[in-house]
Amino acid sequence: MKAMHLKSVSAAPQDELDNQSLPGWIYHDPEFFEVEKQAIFRNSWQVVCHVNDIPRVGDFHTFEFFGESVVVVRAEEGVRAFHNVCRHRAARLVDGPKGNCGKRITCPYHAWTYGLDGRLVALSRETFKNLDTSRHGLAACEHEIYHGFVFVRFAPGLPSVREMLAPYEHEIAPYRFEDLVPMGRVSMRPRAVNWKNVTDNFSDGLHINVAHPGLTRLFGRGYGIEAKPWVDKMWGALRDTPSSNWSERAYQTFLPQVAHLPAERQRLWTYFKLWPNVAFDIYPDQIDFMQMIPLSPTETMIREIAYVHPDSRREMKAVRYLNWRINRRVSVEDKELIARVQQGMGSSSYSSGPLSDGEVCLRSFGKHMRRLIPQSKLPQAPPRGWSHG
């Protein structure tokens, strides 16, 4: 992924644009998607795993993103992140989403061997004239550990994850992210929509009481949203009124007290979406990350996993299962909604729509998109080849 520079464009006044959603053409246009790879994702932070996913020396997790492969590995001195590429002939080094490589990483092609600190420590039997092994260690990938979660990026530019989430540090801290352990495995859910369609829906509050009856039974009409420069926040507090649905009612009834959470968070569901495509679903009983990985202009892979604090109470085991049942239904509902929107984005009748005063997250997202890719301001796609100068 290489840097690129885009020309400014003539468009409607900024205040007018701020009151409009992004244009439909950028949700399916192949050339725009190629530009996004560089302008949006090249320097974005992407979550790979939690440090407790790799507790032993040699444990690793891999992450694939726009043709890049990264391996996050537990070394003697801590967590390291490298491009999953041999420095000899570019062979992939480790396979699969996770595993343990022992105390060294050995290329399966020509047996170049690296320490877990990335140093080249052994070669095949061939002779390499004037080879300086110190210059051929694994290529490091910039990483940041945020409260135990390991993020990587391929170029500098954005603030750190900690800086981006700083407005909500006081809300996140009580959940003790550092102590979380994985519950189950990473799941991958394909969606036949543009990635922005998924993130828009995640940060949208207007559809909750229209399209999610289960969440409405749990929260009533008390669902809130707000936007900070790099992060959206959504939240809903569980009502005392018993739901008519047995899964929701049981969750309300059996959700136990969590000792490390303050009173105001014992029955609060909170969601944070970090620019551009990573989200945390924070419940009293578990924490999930949800990552919307673009695959094509009209395909997205949702990557997610739940983490928990070890708790053997029967009530906690029950509510974690109930949480899954409740949110599985929400996921099915959202899948249908975003499919409807994706289809409509391709209609010749649609350009963009008005945003209400309360749609602050979509406003914030739109400002980022228009700043980074000025063509986002245009109601219709420019002539093909516009990204080439």
CATH code, domain with 310? 3.90.380.10
- Tell whether 163 is covered by a domain: no
- Total number of domains in the chain: 2
39 shares its domain with 58: no
- Tell whether 154 is covered by a domain: no
226 shares its domain with 300: yes
CA distance 366 to 363: 5
2 shares its domain with 51: no
40 shares its domain with 53: no
**What backbone torsions phi and psi does residue 369 show, to the nearest 5 degrees?**
-60, -45
Kind and range of the H or E run holding 172: helix 169-172
Range of the domain at 87: 46-144
23 shares its domain with 75: no
Mean pLDDT, the chain, whole residue set = 95
Tell me what pLDDT residue 11 has.
60
185 shares its domain with 36: yes
280 shares its domain with 317: yes
336 shares its domain with 204: yes
61 shares its domain with 9: no
197 shares its domain with 300: yes
CA distance 126 to 113: 14
CA distance 259 to 262: 8
**Residue 13 neighbours by CB distance under 10 Å:** 7
For the chain, 389 residues long, give each residue's pLDDT as a single digit of tens: 544 556 666 566 677 898 999 999 999 999 999 999 999 999 999 999 999 999 999 999 999 999 999 999 999 999 999 999 999 999 999 999 999 999 999 999 999 999 999 999 998 777 788 888 889 999 999 999 999 999 999 999 999 999 999 999 999 999 999 999 999 999 999 999 999 999 999 999 999 999 999 999 999 999 999 999 999 999 999 999 999 999 999 999 999 999 999 999 999 999 999 999 999 999 999 999 999 999 999 999 999 999 999 999 999 999 999 999 999 999 999 999 999 999 999 999 999 999 999 999 999 999 999 999 999 999 999 999 999 87
Return the structure tokens found at 187: 């799941």
